[in-house]
Amino acid sequence: PALAQIRAEVVQEVARQMTDTYIFPDKGAAATARIRSRLKANAYAALDEKAFADSLTADLFAVTRDKHLVVRWSEKGYASASA
């Protein structure tokens, strides 16, 4: 898949996790709206993989102020969070 498609899938999965499982539903919804809006505005398009993960983390923190929310990138990949 193209890089743009992969990033969209990552944003959608993070958004799903925030909506479905975040302890503060209002902040989860606000964080979801923020990252979806930034994706739509192509804010992540020019970033490399690590910068993309860091930017998602910063966007989540901007809304939630939760230092436990971290998006990480690894060249080796990760198992699915929903597995």
pLDDT tens-digit series, residues 31-47? 999 999 999 999 999 99
Alpha-helix residue ranges (DSSP H) falling in 1-83: 3-21, 25-40, 49-64
pTM: 0.86
pLDDT higher than threshold 60 for residue 6: yes
Are 28 and 22 contacting, i.e. CB atoms less than 8 angstroms apart? Answer: yes
3 state DSSP class of 46: coil
Mean pLDDT of all residues in the chain? 92
Mean pLDDT of all residues in 21-28: 96
Please give the pLDDT value at position 81.
58
pLDDT higher than threshold 80 for residue 79: no
> Residue 67: how many CB atoms within 10 A of its CB?
8
3 state DSSP class of 61: helix
